[in-house]
Structure 1
Amino acid sequence: MEQTTGRDKSLVFQNRSSSKEFLLSKAELVPLGKLYGKAKDSRDKDVLNRLFPAIQSGDDFLEHALKLLTPHHVFGAIIFRIDNMRSLENDQNRDHTDRIISEIAKTIDDICKPENGFWGQLDRFEFGCYFPDKDSEGCLEIAVKIKVDLEKKGKETVTTGVAAYPAFSYKKNEIIENARKALEHADFFGPGSIVAFDAVSLNISGDKLYQNGDINGAIKEFKTALLFDPTDVNVHNSLGVCYAVLGDFSKAIKEFKEAIRLSPEEIMPMYNAGLSYQLMGKKTKALQHFIKSGSLGENLFEIDFQTGKLLLELEKPEEGRIYIEKALKLKPESSIALFYLGEIFTATGMLDEAEAAYNKAIKINPNDAASLSSLGLLYQDNGRNRDIAMTFCRQSVEIAPDNGLYRQRLGKIYLKQGLLSDARNEFEKAEELGCESGQYIDEVRAEIKKL
């Protein structure tokens, strides 16, 4: 259940992000600070202690709350955050913000006490409340009462997150954190919003963990979200992305397929399934999914780029060019798309166009090792300035020393220029890096024997 302020729930996950080329929903959240901690400023305590001498804050409040909740098998937790306060906070406004904190604390206290609730301060502008024997619906009713009361008084608004115990395998001390996740969910709907902890809250939390590199933590959040709502397409897609990033493509595709079954017109899982198939070497299936995702009505760079790249790999460069050029219309400054356009031009014998594409890519990204290497090879193979060809290929190896193909290309240039020792070194390193170069090593040895 959400109380919103004009923003529809469907807007929560409209933003897409690309991580390692996979598409997933992206939560754009305002950092809210730490969940626990001591009050940093004694003045924060003094302001409320004058009104509520027994008030507790931070960890002290949370530890005391858990003791009080020991005999209760059902309870609710609410976090209230006073809206738009941090932007107003400065030394000149401190007395004004102190008054607002005090007035809102009075409202919370007036409504909590008759409901058998107890509350404390979590942060300067945040209050945590517990309600023994109240479920999520009961806490939502209380949150709405506080919202309405503040509106009547013309006071500042509060954004509110609600959670309840029991909930799946969550422990009592984790419920306040669930209320925090609901609070972050509420941020999507603007000031004054009220949100109860649900699958979307967990999806947002999982996305934050994913963006911070905690893939396993994200998986845990997404799995729990599916206990709330097994039909959530975004969650299935996000879980699939996590599995794919970990290299477990069978699990990833299972999640993407379920998302596609639930919503056949959703682009992200269709594309992500294609990318997973591509990484598994199943190029035909990958192409089918890329083309299908591209037909669903939204122009996305990643889809056109991957489709064009795959068509080039399937030796269909003319078809691939159509998609790469579409991708470049969406991102004209993409050096990687320009590189693949150069590869397509090279494959179709359009060498002047290939040179122009590589040069443009390098101008955008001077450290584009792929374009430097391909441009050097193009110069070498077409009898252009061999010194420039060597320079480009050397630069590519300096940028990406662990790329066997770039070393092999540099070795070929050394070989043609009679630099046999240098050529052998590059071919041997290329071989060590998994780029088959045995025939070139034999060729160098044969040339050395002639000396």
Structure 2
Amino acid sequence: MTPKFSSKEIHFLKTDSDETLAGPPETYYSDLVHARTGQIQNFEQRLEKAKIPGKNFFCSVVRISGDLTQERLEKARDVFEACFESLLGKKSGQTKAKTSGNRGLWESLDERSFILAFWDYTQKRKAENLITSLKEKISSSLETRILMGAALSPFHDFSRSETMANALKAIDHAAFFGPDHLVYFDAVSLNISGDRLYQLKMYEKAVQEYQKGLELEPKNINLINSLGVCYGVTGDLDRAMEEFEKARDLSPGEIMVIYNMGLIHQIRENADKAVIYMKKAHALNPEIFEVELLLGQLLLKQKQHDNARTHLEAALELDPESGPATRMMGELFLELKDAVRAGQEFNKAVKINPSDGAALSGYAKAMYDQGKNLKIALTFARKSLVLEPDNLIFKARLEEITRSWEKAEQNREPGIKSA
């Protein structure tokens, strides 16, 4: 009997929204859209009421990077204000604080970040030059790096408030490149925003972001795959497979898509098809941990012990601290009647994750098969069932060990205490 993987251990594959990205930001400014902070609501209301000639405007979010003293952080607001007034060409003596005159407005989000909108420019290129100039002036004045995200309106079918949100998503996008970048909102920004919502388990909103991104770039493989993953984790396997098939048709050699299609078959308990897809994924790249892990598990279920061992060992080479892979090696040795080696593997798995019910149950079984440490085996078997009360395999093992323990106690000589 081989326990199934927990749903928490088998994951759909997603990539970074762009393989050139360095890593996620420490702070996601797009979270402010969902948190509806006072600053965001205030700026949004002012932007909606603003009289913008021609309806064209740019919205930008600015973050001052680097380690700054409190004194320099306090100076940052004055620097930003001065640079913004200079950008708009306002005359000395005009109203300064949070300007909402004829050409723009701004708001501080915190002590080191600001959001602004400006209009009254004749060409998009000139507006972009103004944004670059603003970045350079603030950076020079504070002698630090500046991170910026910007969004244009009108763009696609986004409203004014959505343009503000797009600028926040754009600075999240910029943060992936490091603390001194400027990025304009695009489909990748929406992919990053969707990934953040996915991370927060806000799946419906994530789906909306991916779909909106696909309106901008209908053939974006990452967006299509991400949309499929979202459908998959919410249980809509038919729609998930539809998206993965679209992605496969566009890019037949995309390993994450092939893997995800195989995972759908595994979830549907169509093991033969799942193995076919996992083997295709392995052929494309034999160094993907998730592929080796799932392929090893599937082959173990089919009693292909030698092949299963090969892939589980490959998974452990890629991630030596993987509890699931270590535990599956234990299950393999149990099936091969090598209780000693099984016990060694389960021991490692329990050390990696003391709350792994399958590893605890397997360890108990391995000790029982060796005919030793029955009291410890009984403790582990009981704990495994506490963790997963409905697991029939764990129940059967506990009953087997309990009978053996009770029989040993009955046969024990009077006056001799059990170990």
Shorter chain as denominator, the TM-score bin is 0.7 to 0.9
Q: Any residues of structure 2 matched to 1:4-15 within 5 Å, and which?
A: none
Residue among 171, 191, 216 paired with 2:204: 216
Deviation, 1:287, is 1.3
Deviations 1:292-316 (A, max 9, x none): 2222236122111111000011221
Q: Distance in 1 between matches of 2:355 and 2:9?
A: 21
Residue among 187, 193, 200 paired with 1:199: 187
Aligned residue number for residue 24 of structure 1: 14
Aligned residue number for residue 118 of structure 2: 131
Letter in 2 for 1:172: R
> How many residue pairs end up in the alignment?
378
Moved more, 387-396 or 240-249: 387-396
| Contact 2:79–2:138 under 8 Å retained in 1 | no
| Contact 2:153–2:160 under 8 Å retained in 1 | yes
Letter in 2 for 1:404: L
Deviations 1:370-413 (A, max 9, x none): 12222333444565554444333222212322323211222234
Q: Distance in 2 between matches of 1:176 and 1:192?
A: 21
Q: Any residues of structure 2 matched to 1:73-84 within 5 Å, and which?
A: 73-84=55-66
Aligned residue number for residue 354 of structure 1: 342
Deviations 1:245-303 (A, max 9, x none): 01111211222222233333332222122111111122222112212222223612211
Higher relative contact order, structure no. (Cα contacts within 8 Å, ≥ 6 residues apart): 2
Letter in 2 for 1:79: V
Q: Distance in 1 between matches of 2:45 and 2:377?
A: 69
| Contact 1:136–1:196 under 8 Å retained in 2 | no
Structure 1 residues 364, 58: CA separation in 2 closer, same or farther (over 3 Å shift)?
closer
Deviations 1:77-131 (A, max 9, x none): 22222332xx3143xxx1x333343233222222224896312223233333323
Deviation, 1:357, is 1.6
Aligned residue number for residue 302 of structure 2: 314
Structure 1 residues 365, 283: CA separation in 2 closer, same or farther (over 3 Å shift)?
same
Letter in 1 for 2:113: E
Q: Any residues of structure 2 matched to 1:156-171 within 5 Å, and which?
A: 156-171=144-159
Deviation, 1:30, is 2.0
Q: Any residues of structure 2 matched to 1:181-260 within 5 Å, and which?
A: 181-260=169-248
Structure 1, gaps ≥5 residues long: 1-17, 39-56, 420-451
| Contact 2:139–2:146 under 8 Å retained in 1 | no
Aligned residue number for residue 131 of structure 2: 143
Deviation, 1:210, is 0.8
Q: Percentage identity across aligned positions?
A: 32
Matched, 1:119 2:110: no
Q: Distance in 1 between matches of 2:351 and 2:144?
A: 52
Moved more, 347-356 or 322-331: 347-356
Letter in 2 for 1:110: S
Aligned residue number for residue 337 of structure 1: 325
Deviation, 1:334, is 2.0
| Contact 2:58–2:153 under 8 Å retained in 1 | yes
Q: Any residues of structure 2 matched to 1:329-408 within 5 Å, and which?
A: 329-381=317-369, 383-384=371-372, 386-408=374-396
Moved more, 237-246 or 266-275: 266-275
Moved more, 196-205 or 105-114: 105-114
Q: Distance in 1 between matches of 2:381 and 2:179?
A: 56
TM-score by length of 2: 0.80
TM-score by length of 1: 0.75
Moved more, 224-233 or 148-157: 148-157
Q: Any residues of structure 2 matched to 1:228-307 within 5 Å, and which?
A: 228-297=216-285, 299-307=287-295
Aligned residue number for residue 19 of structure 2: none
Moved more, 166-175 or 182-191: 166-175
Letter in 1 for 2:13: L
| Contact 2:53–2:120 under 8 Å retained in 1 | no
Aligned residue number for residue 88 of structure 1: 68
